[in-house]
Amino acid sequence: MVSVQSRYTVLPSESTPNQKLFSLCEQIKLRTHAPLLYVYKPHPHHDASTMVNILRHSLGQALTIYYPLAGRLSSTQGGRWELHCNAKGAQLLEAVCEASNLDDLGDFVPTGLVSQLIPNIDYNVPIEDTPLLAVQLTRFPCGGVTMGVALCRGAIDGTATMRFMTTWAKLARKEILDQVEKKPLHDRNLLNSYKLNSGLHDHTEFNPPHPWLGPLGGKHTEFVVEIVKLTDEQVKKLKHNVNKKNISSTRRGYSTFEVVAGYLWRCVSKARYVGNSEQPTRLSTLVNCRNRMKPTLSGYAGNAAFPTVTRTCSFGEIMHEPLSYVVDNVSVAIERVTREYVASALGYIEKVKDMDLVRYNFHYPAPSVRRVPYKGNPDLFVVSWMNFPYKDADFGWGKPLYFGPGFMDSEGKAFVMNKVGGDGILVAISLEGSHMDAFKGFFYADFDEEFLPVSKL
């Protein structure tokens, strides 16, 4: 059990611009918060009052640089977000966990006690009163600590979040920031200016989710969360076998993320299969577009992660075609997101009349946007947290020994992350309870068998 001892509102330490920011990309994001968990091993300098004071002081400095995070979202006509930089501040919580030590949390599966390490955001209050950033420092009897960070998805993406955390940590260590770190780009018009008035692409990523065909395969629809692992050797074997059969028209090999995402899609489809071979399914992901734009958006501190989806396949295709076929569908979806595609997407978003519906279509079955009772999910949403520089989040008491999501609030979602020691990857995944055991069985099956044709079911 985690109990909160103190709450602080941290304001920017200096005056900041009072302005309103509007980004077309951020219109498709949820008002909910991404839950990041940083875990730190016991350290002789883990004095509670000292740590909190360091965090409060340095956070005030960081919010002077990343001042939009001290503001609030507001909802305008048509359900669109506007970010008001009004310096209302971020929340910092001090908590203790007296019943458990860090070792008791095992692999930090984002559920149960681990989810209590993330600040609890009350979405029943008006959006104008909801902080965009909340941080919870939790102390354990062993001397270890965790930092749970909740950052509003409608204000910032993963890449900008990592830069913010690196800046905050350097300030906590009293190090001097370089000129790039001092001046992140907050002007949302930098991205809006790429907008095309006429769409060049069919933006299927905003189409309604596929309906579930047939029985659910279980009496309950509650989802469970697990962490599964692949070693470097297993990842190399997957990539080697898939790239031997590369069917892409491009010359490059499939990336680690593409291979792992395709492998997950196949394993999940097998686990969900209940005789419904014709069940439509697709895989969704996000693409950081900063370096895909011309000129690039280096240092952009808002949202530049755009959704993309594979073409619609069937369970039968995913299960019976070679894995290279599945992976290629993922690769094509990612490669599709060019400068022109982003510009077309921005034009599409601008013309949307019901933003809540668009958010629902992409983020289904997230509870915060669900419009109909949950009846099963044939799709998969895979997010890459690979190569995030989370080890830079050293606030003076050492580098994190673990980084990952603090909780998962919807079914059919997976986070792909690097292991701390560098040996392979971790995947945090949420599935219906009736499907999870079957998924793990397929995931850990002999990899050689994965490339043999499967029998018709």
Q: What confidence tier does 456 reach under pLDDT thresholds 50, 70, 90?
A: very low
pLDDT tens digits, residue range 127-154?
Answer: 999 999 999 999 999 999 999 999 999 9
* Whether pLDDT at 190 is above 50: yes
Enumerate residues 6+ apart whose C-beta is below 8 A from 282.
Answer: 210, 309, 310, 311, 312, 313, 379, 380
Domains 2-192 and 204-388+408-450 share a fold: yes
* Whether pLDDT at 454 is above 50: no
- Distance separating alpha carbons of residues 1 and 26, to the nearest angstrom: 35
Give the pLDDT confidence score for residue 457 in this predicted structure. Answer: 42
* Whether pLDDT at 416 is above 90: yes
Cβ proximity of 247 and 324 under 8 Å: yes
- Sequence ranges of the domains in the chain: 2-192, 204-388+408-450
Give the pLDDT confidence score for residue 411 in this predicted structure. Answer: 92
- Distance separating alpha carbons of residues 262 and 255, to the nearest angstrom: 11
H-helix or E-strand containing 96?
Answer: strand 90-97
- Distance separating alpha carbons of residues 83 and 52, to the nearest angstrom: 28
CATH class of 2-192: alpha beta
Percent of the chain with pLDDT over 90: 75
Bond from prior residue into 131 cis (ω within 30 degrees of 0)? no
Give the pLDDT confidence score for residue 132 in this predicted structure. Answer: 98
- The mean of the pLDDT values for the chain is 90
Give the pLDDT confidence score for residue 263 in this predicted structure. Answer: 97
Q: Which residue in the block uniquely carries the two structure tokens 């930089």? A: 85
pLDDT tens digits, residue range 119-134?
Answer: 999 999 999 999 999 9
pLDDT tens digits, residue range 41-77?
Answer: 987 766 778 899 999 999 999 999 999 999 999 988 7
Give the pLDDT confidence score for residue 1 in this predicted structure. Answer: 87
Looking only at Cα atoms, what is the longest distance across the chain?
66
Q: What confidence tier does 209 reach under pLDDT thresholds 50, 70, 90?
A: confident
pLDDT tens digits, residue range 227-265?
Answer: 999 999 999 999 998 988 776 655 678 999 999 999 999
* Whether pLDDT at 452 is above 50: no
* CATH T-level topology, domain 204-388+408-450: Chloramphenicol Acetyltransferase (3.30.559)
pLDDT tens digits, residue range 75-110?
Answer: 887 789 999 999 999 999 999 998 889 999 999 999
Give the pLDDT confidence score for residue 99 in this predicted structure. Answer: 82
Q: Which two tokens stand for residue 150?
A: 């909740």
Cβ proximity of 301 and 317 under 8 Å: no
Q: What confidence tier does 195 reach under pLDDT thresholds 50, 70, 90?
A: confident
